[in-house]
Structure 1
Amino acid sequence: MKNWLLLTIAMLVIGVLAACAPEREESATAEEPETDTTEETETNETEKKEEVTEADKPEKLVVWEDKDKGIGLDAAIASFEEEFGIPVEYREMDMATEIREQLRLDGPTGQGPDVVTLPHDQIGQVVIEGLIAPLEVEETVTGIYTESSIAAQTYDGKLYGLPKATETPVFIYNKELMPEPVATFDELFKFSKEMAGTDQYGFLALWDNFYFGNSIMQGHGGYVFGGEDGVQDSQDIGVNNEGAVEGAAYIQQWYEEIFPSGIIGESGGSAKDGLFQEGKVASVMDGPWAFQGLNEIGMDYGVTPLPTLPNGEYPITFMGVKGWHVSNFSQNKEWATILVEWIANEENAKIRFEETKEIPPVKTLIDDPIIAEDEGAQAVAIQSERAIPMPNIPEMAEVWEPMAQALQLIATGDSEPQEALEEAHSTISSQIELNHSGN
């Protein structure tokens, strides 16, 4: 990292000098003899880097980190301070709700941070509000991360963060009731039917919740927003296309024949978790956030990516990517960017995983023994490659409620999939037009 930084800053200085002397450049000819100036150039670059970086060093940098996750930053901060001589402080806050709200208040007053962590689905809104700055880094930096995780950190064609951790739903099974995981949903449906009439269930999922249910619809060809070249088109809504309807019909079949009525609606999650932890459910669809609770009760459980659907395709789950971002109010954006690169690099991402168990989307770490030998982490890593980032445009806020209502009508049998999804599509389109026509 030190050598890279030396070269990057030196090249910027050289570029500025060259821009100031166009006449010299124009006078150069092909007949001039070539000389080997590599050693001299490297020496000059080192000297220039030291001169530039020593100037304008901030007294300190401030990071806002997620609640109870600061332990994953300690090693990275210690090595950054040793390398660059800049103290770094961090403050823990709730990432999903508190950081964005506090940045709106503290940023303009100069009391805010230089670096913040946020869930990627908030990026579109905070960019529109001017809360975070575009991130200018080399392709050698972004190249270490999975393509989908970089896409999650991109809005309107610009990069606004570096990935920190990824999460997506996986298949979790109780080895006492299911010694070996199933490979297909056809097998799982048959297994679950055999348990019908007892007080146990073969599989439970919250498919009336669009976060989970979309994976089945998208696995059949549905989608939320279309678009090209990483730019999402909120006018192209695919929640009611042929594939989405087919997926919703499959969801309805599970609710009609397998799932109990108690796992629909707001209390569905706690009902599902209670049944699974009581040993009454063989398997569930859930995320890595469930692992700690299962460890605490001592369940002997296994984790795999989700089985294949009847059409032979994998469910396409929503992926959430937590990232590091530079505050648009920071007076030290260049150094804040260097800090983001430092704390998100491969070495520090690995250390952070050891401390927090949050899975970094760093390509080389997927096959590293630290993740490859961790069954839960490996399952999330593989499923993440089959996932798509949740849309990070502000219009996504108009999708959740209409789709939840549609899926609940489908789950209870009060509406057929086509009818329910058509109504959801109409509502989403109207709300986007009403609330986001100026975007």
Structure 2
Amino acid sequence: MKLNKSLTMISALSLMAVSLAACSGNNGGGNNASPSASAASPSASATSSAPSESASPEATDIEPEAGAKLVVWAAQEQKDFLETMGKEFEAKYGIKVEFQKVGSADALNKIVKDGPAGVGADVFMLAHDQLNRAVQAGVILPNDFYAEDTQANFAKTAVDAVTATDGILYGYPRNIETYLLFYNKNLAKPEDLASWDAIKAFSKAYNVPAEKKFGIMWKLDDSYFNYAFMGGNGGYVFGNNNTDPGDIGLNNEGSVEGLKFMQSMKEVMPFKVADATPDVKTDLFQKGKLAIDMDGIWQLGSFTKEKLGFDVGAVPLPPMPNGKSPKPFAGVQAYFVSQFSQYPNAAKLFAHFVSSQDAAIKMYQMSGVVSARNGLDQDPALAGNELVAAFVEQFKNVEAMPSIAETASFWTAMGAVYPQIWDNNADVKATLDKAVSDMKTLIQQSK
């Protein structure tokens, strides 16, 4: 998956260093407030020309500062799109935009270092699981002027993901990264994916293990994929919308039922956990030996007829035998405005501009990235695109990965679960009880 889970494993000591560095810097706008104060109350320079939040963001744009110029950080693959949008922005508002290659995995640490020195970005991208660390470090401004527009036009999961635990909306959502079922249309029909019972029936008829032909496969050693069956049954990582590490729901009745169902898929997936790697799985799908591939939105540019030689379909994860639908994890990438920007109004204007409906269409056409905007599949430019429509439908039933620091314990402790229940047929409840106990130990040790 594209969202880097390892980001959640930044230690508390590193976070403290980030926060201290941000607090000691001068943001160039004269605001030296503490991180919490600056997060909740943007500097006067950031809001002086903005009308009150009750103003209609649809009716007017925020007024940019005179002489503004912006630096935007993003990954290299977004260069062409963002430079194109920058030229359009300059033509419309007279504000020059410079693209710099800094991916979302590196942006937080870099803005902490470069922001106070006045050489950081005005707008940069982060994955949502870095949001609370960015807020604690005091390096981002709230999405205040365009809050209503963002809340109205983006998938709720995306909006919630870029709203910090302090209840404040900070991000301008770009896209949701999640997964569903791709299938080879030469091998399977939509009705073969209508339910998991249908998938099992199809796979039993299709499988030829000696020839490495399989009906369905996904990365079995990864909680990113396996959690879907737990979350869809009422399991959860942390309580209170993944913000309460004192309440772990990974061994509750729903989680146990979900992993028992996952375990039952072994009858049509006759291979070890270690054999279901992304490379193996993708290679089999590309060669026409794997019919159904649970994989992510990042494959849209690769799973095309031009590259594979066959048509690819896609459907959201179907309901489980108990009628409940799996709820896959999702990562959200978003634009954020730097606390250190000398032109915060112009930066907010650009973040809004580059996440608009027109920009969303252009982003897909230029880079294959599907925006988190509502109703994107209904736009004439994308209407009829089966794969986009399937992902937009899946977006309605996903869960943003938890972003609190204690999430590192989840990835670590759950890693041992899947070989036990899959390869060794271990008791699911006992195995999950052990994982939760290990999580609690890891959380306590991190304090």
Tell me if TM exceeds 0.5.
yes
Conserved? CA contact 2:219–2:276, under 8 Å: no
Q: Secondary structure at the match of 1:369?
A: coil
Contact between 2:376 and 2:392, CA under 8 Å: does it hold in 1?
Answer: no
Q: Which amino acid aligns with 2:113?
A: L
Aligned residue for 1:108? 116
CA distance in 2, matches of 1:293, 1:359: 14
Match of 1:253 in 2: 264
Letter in 2 for 1:214: Y
Mean alpha-carbon deviation: is it higher for 149-158 or for 133-142?
Answer: 133-142
Out of 267, 270, 276, which is 2:279 matched to? 270
1:173 matched residue in structure 2: 183
1:105 is matched by which residue type in structure 2? K
Over 3 Å counting, the alpha-carbon distance change for 1:64 and 1:382 in structure 2 is same
The equivalences for 1:311-326 within 5 A come to 311-326=322-337
Q: Secondary structure at the match of 1:270?
A: helix
Output the amino acid matched with 2:138.
G
Query: Is 1:413 matched with 2:413?
Result: no
What is residue 66 of structure 1 aligned with on the other side?
A: 75
Shift of 1:266: 8.5
CA shift at 1:299, angstroms? 3.0
Rounded to whole Å, the distance in 2 between the matches of 1:368 and 1:63 is 27
Partner SS for 2:216: coil
Unpaired runs of at least 5, structure 2: 1-47
What SS is found at the alignment partner of 2:143?
Answer: coil
**Distance across 2 between alignment mates of 1:211 and 1:78:** 38
Deviation at 1:197, TM superposition (A): 4.7
Residue in structure 2 matching 1:201, options 206, 214, 224: 214
Letter in 2 for 1:103: I
Query: Cα distance 1:137–1:426, how it changes in 2: closer, same or farther (>3 A)?
Result: farther
CA-to-partner distance for each residue in 1:15-64, whole Å, 9 max, x for gaps? Answer: 9xxxxxxxxxxxxxxxxxxxxxxxxxxxxxx9xx9xx957x434411000
After TM superposition, give the deviation of residue 351 of structure 1 in Å: 1.9
Change (3 A) 1:12 1:187: closer
1:226 aligns with 2:242: no
Q: Secondary structure at the match of 1:293?
A: coil
Look up the SS of the partner of 1:371 in the other structure: coil
Residue 367 (structure 1) shift: 1.8
Alignment match of 1:390 (pick from 385, 401, 409): 401
> 2:361, 2:288 → 1: CA distance?
34
Counterpart amino acid of 1:377?
A: V
Structure 1 segment 239-388 matched on structure 2, within 5 A: 239-255=250-266, 257-262=267-272, 264-265=273-274, 268-295=277-304, 296-388=307-399
Q: Does 1:147 align with 2:156?
A: yes
SS in 2 for 1:224: strand
Q: How far apart are residue 267 of structure 1 and its match?
A: 6.7
Instruction: Give how far 1:333 is off.
Output: 2.1
Instruction: Give matches, 1:107-126, under 5 Å.
Output: 107-126=115-134
Give the C-alpha shift of residue 417 in structure 1.
Answer: 1.0
- Residue 137 of structure 1: aligned partner: 145
* Helix, strand or coil at the partner of 1:194: helix
- Measure the CA separation in 1 of the matches of 2:200 and 2:180: 17
Task: For 1:165 and 1:10, locate their aligned partners in 2 and report how far apart those are by CA, in whole Å.
Answer: 27
Give the Cα–Cα distance (whole angstroms) in 2 for the partners of residues 397 and 266 of structure 1: 25
Where does residue 35 of structure 1 map in the other structure?
A: none
- On the 8 A contact 1:170/1:287 being kept in 2, the answer is yes
Check 1:283–1:227 CA distance in 2 against 1; reply closer, same or farther (3 A cut). Answer: same
Residues 267 and 122 of structure 1: is their aligned pair in 2 closer, same or farther, counting only changes over 3 Å? farther
| Alpha-carbon distance in structure 2 between the residues aligned to 1:170 and 1:370 | 23
- Which residue does the alignment assign to 1:80? 89
2:296 counterpart letter in structure 1? G
Are 1:98 and 2:112 matched, yes or no? no
**Alpha-carbon distance change, 172 to 348 in structure 1, aligned in 2, over 3 angstroms:** same
**What is the aligned-residue identity percentage?**
32
Distance 2:341 2:315 in 1: 42
Tell me the secondary structure at the aligned position of residue 363 of structure 1.
coil
> Which runs of 5 or more structure 1 residues have no equivalent in the other structure?
1-7, 16-45
CA deviations over 1:343-388 (Å, ceiling 9, x no partner) = 1122222222221221112114232233331111111110011111
Specify the SS of the correspondent of 2:132.
helix
Larger gyration radius, structure 1 or structure 2:
1
Deviation at 1:100, TM superposition (A): 2.8
Does the 8 A contact of 2:300 with 2:368 survive in 1?
no
410 and 75 in structure 1: CA distance in 2 versus 1, 3 angstrom threshold: same
Contact 1:65 1:117 in 2 (8 A): yes
Tell me how far 1:253 sits from its aligned partner: 1.8
AA aligned to 2:70 is L
